[in-house]
Structure 1
Amino acid sequence: MTTQAPYPIGTPGIPWGAAEVAAWRSRQHRQRSYADDVLGAIDGLSARFDVVEYGRLDYAPDSYPQFALKSRHWDDALPIMLVTGGVHGYETSGVHGALQFIDRHAADYAGKANLLMVPCVSPWGYERVHRWNPDALDPNRSFHADSPAQESASLMRLVAPFRDRVLMHIDLHETTDTDETEFRPALAARDGVAYEPGEIPDGFYLVDDSEHPQPAFQQAVIEAVAKVTHIAPADAHGEIIGSPVVAPGVIEYALTSLGLCASITTARYKTTTEVYPDSPHATPEQCNAAQVAAVCAAIDFALAHRQA
């Protein structure tokens, strides 16, 4: 029997204070460039889409502008489709899948839908390949009133004028092996609780809203992604990451009570994608393509069932 080594920061059983957060932050180092990877791509898209700077994250000595892209010929008579990526900055295909969709497919929806697209919500986390922001807060548990996470608060301000007009919101994520080796152990240490090991599913899956499920919508997305990469099977307990599988590749969360990004609008159709980039059966290109396929299928379904 092996025993999990204590997380290297803090005292087991005692939640972190400011000193532990500072110690954790000192261990995080820039590994890639938001300016090169994301802002450069957005600049290249500015001739085709309206670019909106909707916030700025000041994490001394760094400062990160936050950008959204909008359909150039916005028409209030058309439904709004919201695409978000990089809420967890380390989830690479969420960012690059969103950028790839914008570059290759967003123009296909001109005159059919208004697109509001935010490819990288958490640039500090993107650069440091981390789930949290510098305050050791998870932006994807912080979408609620008076959010302490700047990333979440600024995105909610951007979306507020459209909140009740969005028809579809798809939020692009990944589940990685580091969820078990780093992020969940860090979370347990931060909160002063025991770490309980879990199982990482091998494949793509979706998270529906348990309070307003849309099974046909979820299944349409799964069917489209299955042409690109494999769908995660249920584990021996009929679950994926501890939640019952309600349909092939689909689980449900209470989005609003958990403060998840997919709860920020009243959209009829909403989903969170989860790609598995560490699978021996998937390449980075497939992961990006899976995100793109999911976005296209989600928009197509919402348009086809707009009057449902």
Structure 2
Amino acid sequence: MNKQQAYPIGKQGKPWGNEEKQQWFALQSVKRSYYDEVITKINALKSDFEIQQYGALPIDEQRYPLFILKSKTFDHAKKTVLVTGGVHGYETSGVQGALLFAKEHAHRYESAFNFLVAPCLSPWGYETINRWNPNAIDPNRSFYKNSPAEESAALISYLSSLKVSLFAHFDLHETTDSDNAEFRPALAARDATVHDNWNIPDGFYLVGNTLEPQADFQKAIIENVKKVTHIAAADENSQLIGSPVTQPGVINYSAREYGLCMGLSDAKFVTTTEVYPDSPKVSSQQCNLAQVAVITGGLDYILTDETV
């Protein structure tokens, strides 16, 4: 796909109003179970973590509670690490990778770190395989004061209540072919804009924070992920998704400016992952393991960095 695609909702050149957003919502349907695929795995970790509910989505509070896994031995003298998944609900390996890390790897680092693992920030999006929330809002453009996205606002409020400074934040995402087939055309229609970049890299890459890029940290993560899956190559313009490549497999975004999840704190070490699950070279398990490799690679770097 290399040109603007027509979208069945709205009129060309006119941003959506409430009527169009309701039309969009009416087209969405549940395709998988948040309870079966996420909540049951969270509950299975109750012997290892304190499970805290930090909110619920108003569309159905019983169906869509929001949970975070908190270290049972939470010590304010330790560095605190946040892992977030499912900010975009359709990005499966972000959710499952966060859960896999909590289940199989977090215990190896508990002597040095406190963990907060929020595996699925957007459970309605998870069930309907959506980038947006029920109000056609992108949670990963909504991490700012008085956020219009309940998913983003709930996490911001919870973290504020803890009164703890984050030292590292791993935000787990995917880039899928459905970005071009559905989500970018929908975004262009909603906002009455034209998109001229339809590039989807084949492979894994990272997005660092422009204000705190931590190049060596990002490099260490890439080296660890290489053991699991392939890294996306830059295009003919030395870019990935329209952004300059700063080193193999790494680009930077202005996290606060765009309201990204990775910009919600002043953490020193921050990265956003982008797994490509539609590549013929990978399996779903490899995608989950790549997300885990990001966290373990980043934590190992922090533990060995003499400047930390």
TM-score range, shorter chain: over 0.9
Q: Following TM superposition, by how much is the alpha carbon of 1:85 offset from its aligned partner in structure 2, in angstroms?
A: 0.3
Distance 1:2 1:56, change over 3 A: closer
* Structure 1 residue aligned with 2:176: 176
TM normalised by structure 2 equals: 0.96
Aligned match of 1:206: 206
Query: What is aligned with 2:237?
Result: 237
Structure-2 change in CA distance of 1:51 and 1:2 (3 Å)? closer
Alignment of 1:243-262 (within 5 A): 243-262=243-262
2:304 maps to 1:304: yes
User: C-alpha deviations, 1:174-199, integer Å up to 9, x for none?
Assistant: 00011111101100000011243411
SS in 2 for 1:59: coil
Deviation at 1:304, TM superposition (A): 2.6
Question: After the TM superposition, which residues 35-74 of structure 1 pair with which residues of structure 2 at under 5 Å, given as runs?
Answer: 35-60=35-60, 63-74=63-74
Q: Distance in 2 between matches of 1:9 and 1:216?
A: 45
- State the shift of 1:61 in Å: 8.5
Percentage of identical aligned residues: 51
| Corresponding position of 1:15 | 15
**CA distance 1:3–1:258, shift in 2 (3 Å):** closer
For the residues of structure 2 that align with 1:306 and 1:128, how far apart are their CA atoms? 45
The answer (yes or no) to whether the contact 2:76–2:164 under 8 Å persists in 1 is: no
Q: Quote the residue 2:192 is aligned against.
A: 192
Q: 1:213, CA displacement in angstroms?
A: 1.3
Q: Which runs of 5+ in 2 are unaligned?
A: none
**Cα offset, 1:153, TM superposition:** 0.2
Opposite residue 233 of structure 1, the aligned amino acid is: A
Question: AA paired with 1:143?
Answer: F
Aligned to 1:130: 130
Kindly provide the amino acid, as one letter, of the partner of residue 225 in structure 2.
Answer: V
Higher mean C-alpha displacement, 227-236 vs 70-79? 70-79
Q: Which amino acid aligns with 1:243?
A: S
- 1:167, 1:302 within 8 Å by CA — same for their partners in 2? no
Partner-residue secondary structure (3-state), 1:45: coil
Deviation track 1:102-131 (CA, whole Å, cap 9, x = no partner) reads 110011112211011000000000000010
Q: Distance in 2 between matches of 1:299 and 1:136?
A: 35
Give the TM-score of the pair, scaled to structure 1.
0.96
Query: After TM superposition, what 4+ stretches of structure 1 lie above 6 angstroms from structure 2?
Result: none
User: 1:208 touches 1:218 (CA, 8 Å); kept in 2?
Assistant: yes
Q: 1:3 to 1:246 in 2, by over 3 A?
A: closer
Q: Which amino acid aligns with 1:121?
A: L
Q: Tell me by how many angstroms 1:305 deviates.
A: 2.8
SS in 2 for 1:234: coil
| SS of alignment partner, residue 167 of structure 1 | strand
DSSP-derived class of the 2:84 partner: strand
Preserved CA contact (<8 Å) 1:163 1:265: no
Task: Supply the distance in 1 between the matched residues of 2:11 and 2:42 (Cα, whole angstroms).
Answer: 43
Residue type at the aligned position of 1:286: Q
Partner Cα separation in structure 2 for residue 28 and residue 295 of structure 1: 33
> What pairs up with 1:19-34 in 2 under 5 angstroms?
19-34=19-34
Distance in 1 between the 2:306 and 2:226 partners?
24
